[in-house]
Each structure stands twice: as C-alpha cells, then as structure tokens.
C-alpha cells in the first residue's frame, strides 16, 4: 500500500471516475442530440422547398413542366449562406431540370420524403428527395424532386445547441464534484474522531473505548474493545503468574535461608553437612522450578514459537520413556511404551513433546503411580500417558491445567507440569484431555493431534 493511498482519495477517485465517464457519455449524447435536432430543424427547409417545387410541377407538351419560384430555392439557404442544389427527375429517372445531377437516395419505407447526408463533388450535402405524382385530371405521372444544401447552417446550430449542453453539463459536473467532496468529508469524519480518540488515550490504559460512531465503525470499536478486554485478561493472568512465581520462588529461598541460619548456629560439621545436603536438594528443586517457569514463559510467548517439522511420535515416545526409565526403575515403577510398528507422522517440535511426556511421567511418578504406560495411537495421531495412581476428580481436571494449581497439598510438585503440557499441546494445536484410566483406577492423559493446521 503506497503512502499516497487514502480512503478519501480512493472514494474520490472511484466516484469521480465514473462521474467523469458519465459526463463524457452525456456530452456525446448531447452532441448527437444537438446534431439530430439541427438536422430535424433544417430538414424542414428541405421539406418546404421540395414541396414548393413539387407544387409547381405541371404536365405540358407531353412532358414535365416546372415554373421554378426563386423563393423555393431561397428558403434552402439560411444566414449561413449554404450552397443550394435542386433537380427534377421524371418517373424514368431522367434529369428534367435543375442545377446539379444530385444523387438519388434509396427509398425508405413508404415515406414520400427522405433525407440523407451525401458527399457530392467533394461537398458534404444534405439531400432531401420527395417522390410525388401529378394531380392532373388524366395525367398521374410520377416524378422526383431532389433538393440539397451544404451543412454550414446545421453545423452552426449543432454547435450552438451543443455549447448550451456543454455549459449545463459543466455546471452539473461542478456541483456533483462539490457535493461529492463534501459528502466524502462528512462520511469520513467519524473515522477522524475515532483516530483522534485512540491517539489521545493514555497508552497504559486498557479501558474500553466509549464513542458514538456509525454502525460500520461501531463494529470496529466493538472489535477493538474485545481486543482490549482480552489484553486485560492476559495482563491479569500475567500478573497473577508473576505473583505466583514469586511466591513459589520465595518459599524455597526462605527455607534455604532458614536452614543456613540454623546450620550456622551449630558447630558440628556433620550437621553442616546434613544442612548442606538438604540445601542442595532444595536449591536443585528450586532450580528446576526456575527452569520450568522459564520454559512456561517461553511457551506462552507467541513471538518465539519454533517451526513445526515432520516427526515420528513413536520416536518421541521412546526417547522420553528412555530418559525417564532410570528414575522410575529406582522407585520400582513399571514404565512401558505401546507404539505401532509403522511411523506415526505429525508436524511438531520433538523436544517440546518429549518434555511433555517427561512431565506427565514425572507427575504420575510423584503422585504414587506404580505402573505407567506411554502409548502412541495412530487414528488420529495421539500420545497417551496412563497410570494407576490416585487419578484426578473430574471437576478438577480443568483446574489442574492452570499454573501453580495442585490437586492436593501433599507432594512436592511445582504445580507447573500440567500447565506446561497444556501450553505445548496448544502450540501443536493438539487437544489435551484428562480421563480415568481404562481400568477405572488412575489417570489417562491424552494429547490428540486432530488436525495438522500448522
């Protein structure tokens, strides 16, 4: 879109162009009309003249006879001093008298009088031909009177009439253009108000816009307000998340501080050692928490979503399981993979999906599962983690996806595991659902890659 582009200009151009075309059409029409009118007016002269001549045609000495009245010719010439021609022809088409061998015209319809423009000896003539017959007692001889004059008078009248139309059309065009400009200005004024209202806002406020606008712009205002409302919610979420995260980090840090202080009052190095061990464990879990917070933030940032590439879910499941195998083995948990033989291809980011599985396995382990199964289904591509732990009551299954929500106060989880899983599922346009395990005891988390919309 060029810098010159503007709604105002667009409207003006697209309204003025057709207007211009229309004006040109009107002028063309006016010219044709003017010429037609002039021809009609001047054809009356041809009509009158040919009639005056025809009335003088008599039968005498076995031949057509004409006593031509000078006035019959003089009426053919106007102020424009046209050149004048006339001729009389008999029924056989023989020239009887006249000052020019005027060309005949092909008869039109039943009319006894017809006109046409002809070029004769290099002159542009309007010819009128009158077919008539003698009205004598016995003689009904047919004859033809042809009269013609040059077009100066017609052209002058056409010019005059056309100039009149020209002035009228020009005035109309001017009025139309003025009206158009004013109308467009008026119609676009709410847009200016909207712009001004937005510009004058405090940049930190997300309060809805309150402004009276026409319907089309009201829709835009509503859309803007909806966007603002979403932004308010997002900001509230972010603020809560930051609050929660600070709180989560403060507790272990306070614990560390207290433990260190306690240990410092002791003199026994073995107690120091215990304290240090405890502090190491706490700081490790705090570090993990920090890592999770970081990945959570990164996942929620729409600006840095990595590109989705084709990958095999089976591979993801095996890798994740392999990684978690050691920890589970230490705790005596039975961890297994169920995957089809053929590849299950989707578009995704493998490390995110692996993280997802690791989180789910970890969760199940922490909440006391004895048996964990990672499963890959093909139709549609689905990742499932099923355990035989305590499960989650149906009414809490949505709540647990929120950060820092914990199903119970026991356990040592950060409360971010499922939230991260949820975020990854969103990033993959996958559908995350929580179910009872297939034997009714435990939890089955299912991530269905419904459509490859990436």
Partner 1 sequence: MMLRLLLALSVMLGLELSPLHAAQAAQLLHYPAQQGTVDNSQLDISGAVDTPLIAPVLEDFHRLNPDIALTYRNLTTLEVYRTFIDGNENPQSDVVMSSAMPWQYQLANNGYARPLELDNAERWPTWARWRQELFGITFEPVVIVYRKALADHYGKINSHAELLSLLEREREALRGRVVTYDPARSGAGYTYAVEEARLSPRYWELVAALGGVEADLVGTTQEMLDGLAEGRYLIGYNLLGSYAHGFAEEHPELEIVIPSDYALVMQRLAFLPRSADNPEAARRFFDYLLSEHGQRVISEQTPLGAVHPALEGPGSASALRAQLGEALRPIRLGPGLLATLDKLKREALLARWNREFHRPSTPADTPLSEETAP
Task: List interacting residues with partner 1 (CB under 8 A).
Answer: 65-74, 76-77, 81, 83-86, 88, 96-101, 121-123
Query: In whole angstroms, how close is the CB of 171 to partner 1 at the nearest point?
Result: 34
Is the CB of 3 or the CB of 71 nearer to partner 1?
A: 71
* Minimum CB distance to partner 1, residue 165 (Å): 28
Least CB distance to partner 1 at residue 137 (A): 21
Shortest CB 81 distance to partner 1, Å: 5
Taking the complex as a whole, the smallest distance from the CB of residue 39 to partner 1 amounts, in Å, to 20
How much is the CA Rg of the chain, to the nearest whole Å? 50
The angle formed by the CA atoms of residues 257, 260 and 263, to the nearest 5 degrees, is 150
For partner 1, give the closer residue by CB, 123 or 350: 123
Q: Find out whether 75 and 45 touch, Cβ atoms under 8 Å.
A: yes
In the complex with partner 1, which residue's Cβ is closer, 68 or 191? 68
Give the nearer residue to partner 1 in terms of CB position, either 147 or 437: 147
Shortest reach from residue 64's CB to partner 1, in Å:
8
Nearest approach in angstroms of CB 104 to partner 1 is 16
Q: Which is nearer to partner 1, 57 or 275 (CB)?
A: 57
* Nearer to partner 1 (CB atom), residue 102 or residue 418: 102
User: Could you tell me the smallest distance in angstroms from the CB atom of residue 136 to partner 1?
Assistant: 17
By the 10 Å C-beta count (0-12 exposed, 13-18 middle, 19+ buried), 116 is classed as middle
Q: How far is 201 from 209, CA to CA, in rounded Å?
A: 9
Which CB sits closer to partner 1, 122 or 332? Answer: 122
Within 10 A of 279 (CB to CB), how many other CB atoms are there?
19
Residues in the chain: 454
Q: How far is the CB of 26 from partner 1 (least distance, A)?
A: 35
In the complex with partner 1, the residue whose CB is nearer, 119 or 304, is 119
Quote the Cα angle for 284-289-295, to 5°.
125
Q: Which of 11, 96 has the CB closer to partner 1?
A: 96
Cα angle 107, 108, 111; round to 5:
95
């Amino acid at each position: 879109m060029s810098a010159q582009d503007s709604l105002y200009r667009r409207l003006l151009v697209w309204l003025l162009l057709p207007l211009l075309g229309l004006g040109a059409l009107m002028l063309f029409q006016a010219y044709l009309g003017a010429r037609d009118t002039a021809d009609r007016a001047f054809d009356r002269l041809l009509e009158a003249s040919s009639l005056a001549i025809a009335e003088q045609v008599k039968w005498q000495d076995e031949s057509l006879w004409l006593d031509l009245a000078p006035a019959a010719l003089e009426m053919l010439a106007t102020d424009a001093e046209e050149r004048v021609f006339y001729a009389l022809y008999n029924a056989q088409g023989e020239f009887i008298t006249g000052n020019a061998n005027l060309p005949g015209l092909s008869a039109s319809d039943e009319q006894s009088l017809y006109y046409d423009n002809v070029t004769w000896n290099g002159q542009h003539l309007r010819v009128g031909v009158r077919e008539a017959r003698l009205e004598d007692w016995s003689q009904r001889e047919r004859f033809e009177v042809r009269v013609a004059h040059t077009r100066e008078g017609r052209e002058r009248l056409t010019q005059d009439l056309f100039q009149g139309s020209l002035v009228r059309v020009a005035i109309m065009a001017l009025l139309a253009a003025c009206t158009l400009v004013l109308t467009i200005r008026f119609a676009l004024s709410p847009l200016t108000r909207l712009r001004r209202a937005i510009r004058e806002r405090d940049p930190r406020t997300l309060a809805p816009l309150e402004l009276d606008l026409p319907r089309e712009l009201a829709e835009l205002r509503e859309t803007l307000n909806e966007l603002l409302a979403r932004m308010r919610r997002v900001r509230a979420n972010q603020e809560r998340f930051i609050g929660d995260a600070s709180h989560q980090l403060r507790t272990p840090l306070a614990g560390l501080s207290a433990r260190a202080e306690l240990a410092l009052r002791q003199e026994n190095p073995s107690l120091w050692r215990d304290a240090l061990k405890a502090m190491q464990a706490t700081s490790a879990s705090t570090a993990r928490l920090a890592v999770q917070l970081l990945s959570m933030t990164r996942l929620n940032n729409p600006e840095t979503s990595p590109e989705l590439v084709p990958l095999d879910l089976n591979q993801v499941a095996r890798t994740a399981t392999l990684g978690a195998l050691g920890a589970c083995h230490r705790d005596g948990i039975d961890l297994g993979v169920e995957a089809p033989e053929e590849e299950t291809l989707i578009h995704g980011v493998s490390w995110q999906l692996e993280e997802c599985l690791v989180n789910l396995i970890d969760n199940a382990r922490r909440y006391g599962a004895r048996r964990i199964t990672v499963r890959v289904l093909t139709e549609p591509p689905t990742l499932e983690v099923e355990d035989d732990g305590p499960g989650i009551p149906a009414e809490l299954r949505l709540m647990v996806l929120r950060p820092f929500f914990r199903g119970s106060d026991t356990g040592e989880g950060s409360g971010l595991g499922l939230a991260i899983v949820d975020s990854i599922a969103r990033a993959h346009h996958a559908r995350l659902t929580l179910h009872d395990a297939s034997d009714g005891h435990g939890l089955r988390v299912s991530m269905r890659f419904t459509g490859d919309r990436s």
